[in-house]
């Protein structure tokens, strides 16, 4: 399996913007340890400072690509290919709901989508969505405003 295919699968596994940011942060830590401290420090960093799933992934990928190139290429791929679906809800969703929303977003809008969920009680209910500058407002506050505006006019 080529690394671009694996990079795509990694991107697919990222559900939230937080997942994305955590992985990029870990890649930065690994890259810094490689440049500043050498291979032995890299292995220690891999063991002690990143999540086990990230360490396993890097070890798997490093069989096909040198570490420096691997870290650079993976970061480039993720930053170029990942898109964020910003969602505002009136309530703070559970982790299970966030995962369900993220999985649904990926199946509908593309595998390289990560959701970024914010809470704003002012929308009263429903949700707003923003993807690449396209904004859709399905909030209760917006509908209430429309109803009241139509009734008053």
The total number of structural domains in the chain stands at: 2
Do 133 and 70 fall into the same domain?
no
Please indicate, yes or no, whether residues 76 and 88 belong to a single structural domain of this protein. no
Of the residues 81, 96, 114, which one is the last residue of a structural domain? Answer: 81
Residue 63: predicted pLDDT: 86
Q: Are residues 7 and 76 in the same domain?
A: yes
pLDDT of 37 reads 66
Report the distance separating Cα 59 and Cα 45, nearest Å: 13
Q: Are residues 87 and 71 in the same domain?
A: no
* Gap between the terminal Cα atoms of the chain: 63
Verify that 119 and 57 share a domain, yes or no.
no
Residues 67 and 14 in one domain: yes
Both structure tokens of 106:
């990926």
Rounded to whole angstroms, the Cα distance separating 97 from 22 reads 20
pLDDT (tens, 9 = 90+) of the chain, 153 residues, equals 467 788 988 999 999 999 999 999 999 999 999 887 666 888 899 999 999 999 998 988 888 888 899 999 999 999 999 999 999 999 999 999 999 999 999 999 888 999 999 999 999 999 999 999 999 999 999 999 989 888 775
Domain that includes residue 63, residue range:
3-81
Same domain, 75 and 96: no
């Amino acid at each position: 399996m080529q690394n671009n295919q694996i990079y795509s699968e990694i991107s697919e596994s990222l559900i939230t913007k937080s997942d994305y940011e955590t992985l990029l942060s870990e890649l930065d830590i690994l890259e810094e340890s490689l440049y500043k401290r050498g291979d032995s420090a890299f292995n220690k960093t891999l063991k002690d400072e990143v999540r086990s799933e990230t360490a396993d992934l890097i070890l798997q990928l490093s069989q096909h690509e040198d570490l420096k190139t691997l870290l650079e290429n993976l970061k480039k791929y993720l930053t170029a290919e990942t898109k964020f679906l910003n969602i505002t809800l009136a309530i703070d969703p559970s982790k299970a709901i966030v995962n369900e929303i993220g999985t649904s977003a990926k199946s509908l809008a593309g595998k390289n989508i990560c959701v970024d969920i914010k809470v704003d009680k002012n929308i009263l209910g429903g949700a707003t969505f923003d993807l690449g500058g396209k904004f859709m407002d399905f909030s209760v506050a917006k509908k209430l405003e429309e109803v009241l505006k139509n009734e008053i006019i």
